[in-house]
Amino acid sequence: MEIYFLGTNAGVPTIQRNVTSVALRLMEERRSFWMFDCGEGTQHQVLRSPLRLGKLEKLFITHLHGDHLFGLPGLLSSRGYQGGTAPLTVYGPPGLKAFLDVSLSVSQSRVPYKLEIVEHTGGLIFEDDTFKVEAGLLEHRIDSYGYRVTEKDSPGSLNTELLLSYGLKPGPLYGRLKKGEDITTEDGTVVRAAEVICEPKKGRIVTVLGDTRPCPGSLPLARGADLIIHEATFAHDLADMAYQYHHSTAAQAAELARQAGGRELLLTHFSSRYVTQEELAPLLAEAQAIFPQTLLAEEFCTFPVYRRK
């Protein structure tokens, strides 16, 4: 499980950074990746990345502002031309389906795969045997949602060294033990499943928050998350401006991560007034003063999501 940024700028693209889009790579877990937001030019960013649109399984839109949405029709159309035949589900606030219906129909775009559009107003929006995704309303100029992705705990692996000491080689008996069944060897030894199965693997939690100023809705989504992705449009000396425009400062993002008991914080969605790394450095410093495990998002960079022991 890895985070890969395709766009980290707020509002409009610049020469240095594109507008918002982030990928959650799940190649080991699902042989696919998920995407959160799709600002203008995102498909160009994908071409410069190791991602392949044919592997895109789910796409989540936080809100319907253009810097998070305008790249979606083009990306959906291009996916078909790039070998994407597997079904794709797009989630987002009410109005998303109307936007896509008009964009794709008026442009006569061909989508040669099953495209499902799921509009939601928060709550549990997806669940299967391995993952669930919850959404919650934040506080922005229009309805904006954050997403909490929870990987479910997975069964522990078999202790093969111990099993070999019993004289048991890989085969059907391993499968029975994996299911929790006790077995008896040929010499009458009882091998108990509980003694040869390692501890379950703890699932990871990733929280991706859309545009928002500090609000009560952020905390439940971020509580106990292994990785929190939060906008940091301004440094804290512009806190009044951030509030006026329904955005957050780096310090406010860090305070949310501290209150939520998160493990790591990634800041993104930077105002165009912060162009260079030197100009972004104060945002990182003010956040790390509150929540030391903070990093700045960088486009075309991978950030692993580590598993709790």
**What is the residue-averaged pLDDT of the chain?**
95
Residue of 187, 192, 195, 236 whose CA lies nearest to 213: 236
Domain edge (last residue) among 196, 218, 253: 196
pLDDT in tens, 31-85: 999 999 999 999 999 999 999 999 999 999 999 999 999 999 999 999 988 888 9
**pLDDT tens-digit series, residues 192-215:** 888 888 888 899 999 999 999 999
The mean pLDDT of 12-26, rounded to a whole number, is 97
pLDDT of residue 12: 95
Question: Which residues make up each annotated binding site for Zn(2+)?
Answer: 63, 65, 67-68, 140, 211, 269
Whether 309 is covered by a domain: the verdict is no
Residue 246 lies in a domain: yes
Contact 50, 5 (CB under 8 A): no
Paired tokens of 233 = 């449009």
- Looking at the structure, tell me whether residues 27 and 48 fall in a common domain: yes
Same structural domain, 177 and 233: no
SS3 (DSSP) at 104: helix
Enclosing domain of residue 177: 160-196
Domain co-membership, 169 together with 250: no
Q: Verify that 207 and 248 share a domain, yes or no.
A: yes
The answer to whether residues 255 and 290 touch, using CB atoms and an 8 Å cutoff, is yes
Residue at a domain's end among 196, 224, 253: 196
On whether both 170 and 270 belong to a single domain, the answer is: no
Asked about 129 being catalytic, the answer comes back as no
In a shared domain, residues 188 and 224:
no
276 domain residue, yes or no: yes
Feature table: binding site:
63, 65, 67-68, 140, 211, 269
Domain end (from 196, 217, 247): 196
Let me know: does 14 contact 21? Beta carbons within 8 Å.
Answer: no
What's the rounded Cα separation, in Å, for the pair 237 and 104?
43
CB atoms within 10 A of CB 286: 20
Angle, CA 267 vertex, CA 265 and CA 272 arms, to 5° = 175
Residues 28 and 150 in one domain: yes
Catalytic residue (choose from 37, 67, 143, 226): 67
Q: Which of 183, 191, 196 is nearest to 155 (CA)?
A: 196
Nearest to 96 by CA among 119, 71, 72, 126: 119
Beta pairing partners, 303: 3
User: CA 166, CA 36: separation in Å to the nearest integer?
Assistant: 49
φ, ψ of residue 74 in degrees (nearest 5): -65, -40
DSSP secondary structure letters along 227-253 = EEEEE--B-GGGHHHHHHTT--BHHHH
* Whether 114 and 224 share a structural domain: yes
79 and 181 share one domain: no
Same domain, 103 and 173: no
pTM of the full structure = 0.90
Interval 260-302: pLDDT, tens: 999 999 999 999 999 999 999 999 999 999 999 999 999 999 9
173 plus 25 within the same structural domain: no
CATH number at residue 74: 3.60.15.10
User: Is 284 a domain residue?
Assistant: yes
What is the domain count for the chain? 2
Backbone angles phi, psi at 6, to 5 degrees: -105, -20
Query: Do 167 and 123 share a structural domain?
Result: no
Domain assignment present for 65:
yes
Higher pLDDT, 195 or 99: 99
As a whole number of angstroms, the distance between CA 32 and CA 15 comes to 29
